[in-house]
Structure 1
Amino acid sequence: MALIERQIKPDNTAVAQALVQLINAGGKLLRPAYCLLFSQFKATDRQKMIALAAAVETLHTATLVHDDIIDRATTRRGQPTISATFGPDVAVYAGDYLFVVCFKLLANYASSLRSVQQDGTSMERILNGELKQMATRYNTAITIDQYLTQVSGKTGQLFALSCFIGAYEGGNTWQFAKQAETIGMDIGIAFQLLDDILDYTSTPKTMGKPVHEDLRQGVYSAPLILAMSEHRTEFQQLLAKGNEMSADDIDQVLALISHYDGIGAARSMAKNHTAAALKGLATLPATPARTALEALTRQLLTREA
């Protein structure tokens, strides 16, 4: 994070303050962790890999800033969002500046144009995932396949990119890096499925952000979609209220999700993608890096908060 902070030199003081606050807000740093671990299958330049891991985290943080503006979110990681503290205008510029930092780090440290191209492709897929999500807001006819397409873009792609950059820039073959990318995609999908489950089963304190906000804003995730798939009529009257849903309406939706076992069905999907990721990791060379990747993945994808 210190490396990212050193890259922040905007002329605008408010944007600079917003970015420093954001960087110091903390976070799990999962994506850079996967980038660094996948780089350790061969001896490599540690400074270079730290910089590239920082680029990945910067890209991730930029997407969060813009997400919070669109969602009108007031908290993130248990703290006020940039948009809530400094206003949406400053937040937009802060997010944009982080994209600049990401590409500066890539330009300065990536050894191959392929890595820059991969990052550009990933950004496009992330945006397309967000656009698909926007297009299906308040759509009670949404299918689980549509949801998975969105998740593959907005969350899976960042994990996939992290694993790819780590493997490829770590000196491994293109084939190995693409294998890492596939593993990362499964990790990302399972991560988002679990995150969506926790949105229905956790509290704001344990999540570090408000729960059930996606439901109010018409962003329907796996537990709801799976519970609703054959019982849409029972959900539609409640969901039609949109962001005007009362606490009682939310409770009724949660009761229906529980009754039709949407949580259990979503957990089953998450387990399948977790198993696919662990199966992929098991095919990698038996090194300390693989052991660490397997441990991190198991811990990450069985978390309760």
Structure 2
Amino acid sequence: MNIHAMWDRYPLLQAELVATNELLEKNITIKNQAVREAILARLLSGGKMLRPAYCLLFSYFSSQRDAERAQAIAAAVELLHTATLMHDDVIDEAGTRRGQTTMNRAFGNQIAVYAGDYLFTVCFRLLSQYADNAAVLKIDTNGMESILIGELNQMDMRYNPNMRMRDYLRQIQGKTAQLFALSCYAGAYGADEDEKLAQLAYRIGHNIGMAFQVMDDVLDYTQDEKTLGKPALSDFRNGIYTAPVLYAMQADRKAFAAYVAKGADVTAEELAEIHDLVERCGGNRAAQALAKKYTTKALKLIKKLPDQPVKETLTKITEQLLYRNM
């Protein structure tokens, strides 16, 4: 199994993620072999699998840990996340993700949309095995609703020159932080007596998710296309204004006015100018400080968790995400 190298130093969690991947492969039973292989290539591409990893980590704090249940929920979380990415790629007309050709580029938009829908059904099938647990149902209902609202908010604000940080934070809370929060919550919730613990896990996951998305957006302005596995500054070209550029615009809105006015017609040369302008105006530094703020909140809350061997691992991984370069 192709597991990201970041898990090499955490063999217990690495083994759990291998089992989760095996479960994913087992449950992708679509008969079209070419599409099945493409779906599995995306699912098993060696991505970080952070959401399932956090789900698994928090399951060790549960009063009634069930490894099979934890891995099934972790797999469902990854399916939900991957399905939304497939749909995102169609909307953004993306050709690559994580250095791989996207489903829509390889098979066309129709098959890509249906493939994403198929992953939703597999996700719900896995969750239905534990439907008597309210925590699991929240991934289905709350997770889908929040992600879709976050994405709709983002689409509504595309190419909007009046977008502000509060709009951005509302977007990422829905499209990213909520799934992190629910992953942690569902992992920790093994029985009714775990409700208080699960609520703490939810708050931790929310802050981790916010920090992760802000840093992900910083990387779009600080890393090259090869490192990112997708075109750099693709969000700006698509009218999606994230933390680095919003902070930079606060410092000098007039400097960005002409670029924003061009919308999708902004050229590669102009994107390079925007890249330098964001750095000069302090956008990257301000966004990194925001990510650190959310990470610090998460780490403080992690200290409140019961003492378990995985608590140190949880702390290290959360710190590691703040300083990643991809």
* TM-score, with length taken from structure 2: 0.89
Matched, 1:38 2:52: no
The one-letter amino acid of 1:77's match is R
Match of 1:301 in 2: 322
Q: Is the 8 A contact 2:159 2:240 kept in 1?
A: yes
SS at match of 2:121: helix
Q: Is the 8 A contact 2:180 2:205 kept in 1?
A: yes
Mapped to 2, the partners of 1:33 and 1:193 lie a distance apart of 19
Which one scores higher on RCO, CA 8 angstroms, separation ≥ 6?
1
Match of 2:92 in 1: 71
Match of 2:76 in 1: 55
Matched, 1:25 2:45: yes
Deviates more, 1:75-84 or 1:42-51: 42-51
Offset at residue 2 of structure 1 (A): 1.8
Matched, 1:129 2:144: no
Matched, 1:3 2:20: no
Mapped to 2, the partners of 1:291 and 1:218 lie a distance apart of 40
The one-letter amino acid of 2:58's match is F
The one-letter amino acid of 1:220's match is Y
Q: Is the 8 A contact 1:14 1:86 kept in 2?
A: no
Mapped to 2, the partners of 1:38 and 1:258 lie a distance apart of 37
Choose from 224, 235, 243 the match for 1:203.
224
Offset at residue 11 of structure 1 (A): 4.7
SS at match of 1:106: helix
SS at match of 1:271: helix
SS at match of 1:47: helix
Mapped to 1, the partners of 2:73 and 2:324 lie a distance apart of 27
Taking only aligned residues, the RMSD between alpha carbons, in angstroms, comes to 1.6
Q: How does 1:136-215 map to 2 (within 5 A)?
A: 136-169=157-190, 173-215=194-236
Cα offsets for 1:52-94 (capped at 9, x unmatched): 1101111111111111111111111111111111111110000
Match of 2:117 in 1: 96
Mapped to 1, the partners of 2:279 and 2:143 lie a distance apart of 35
Matched, 1:119 2:140: yes
Q: Is the 8 A contact 2:135 2:186 kept in 1?
A: no
Matched, 1:219 2:227: no
Offset at residue 109 of structure 1 (A): 3.4
The one-letter amino acid of 1:40's match is Y
Match of 1:241 in 2: 262
Q: Is the 8 A contact 1:129 1:150 kept in 2?
A: yes
Mapped to 2, the partners of 1:280 and 1:86 lie a distance apart of 44
Mapped to 2, the partners of 1:134 and 1:73 lie a distance apart of 15
The one-letter amino acid of 1:295's match is K
For structure 2, the 5+ residue unaligned runs are: 1-20
Mapped to 2, the partners of 1:267 and 1:72 lie a distance apart of 28
SS at match of 2:60: helix
Mapped to 2, the partners of 1:30 and 1:241 lie a distance apart of 36
Mapped to 1, the partners of 2:257 and 2:187 lie a distance apart of 45
Deviates more, 1:250-259 or 1:14-23: 14-23
Offset at residue 123 of structure 1 (A): 0.9
Choose from 108, 124, 128 the match for 1:107.
128
Offset at residue 251 of structure 1 (A): 2.2
Offset at residue 22 of structure 1 (A): 2.1
Matched, 1:271 2:292: yes
Matched, 1:289 2:310: yes
The one-letter amino acid of 2:229's match is G
Q: Is the 8 A contact 1:160 1:180 kept in 2?
A: yes
Offset at residue 246 of structure 1 (A): 1.5
The one-letter amino acid of 1:138's match is Y
Match of 2:14 in 1: none
Aligned-pair identity (%): 48
Q: How many equivalent pairs are there? A: 305
SS at match of 2:290: helix
Offset at residue 113 of structure 1 (A): 3.6
SS at match of 1:242: helix
Mapped to 2, the partners of 1:279 and 1:110 lie a distance apart of 32
Mapped to 2, the partners of 1:186 and 1:50 lie a distance apart of 23
Q: Is the 8 A contact 1:49 1:170 kept in 2?
A: no
Q: Is the 8 A contact 2:87 2:112 kept in 1?
A: yes
Match of 1:280 in 2: 301
Cα offsets for 1:160-184 (capped at 9, x unmatched): 1110110013775212111111110
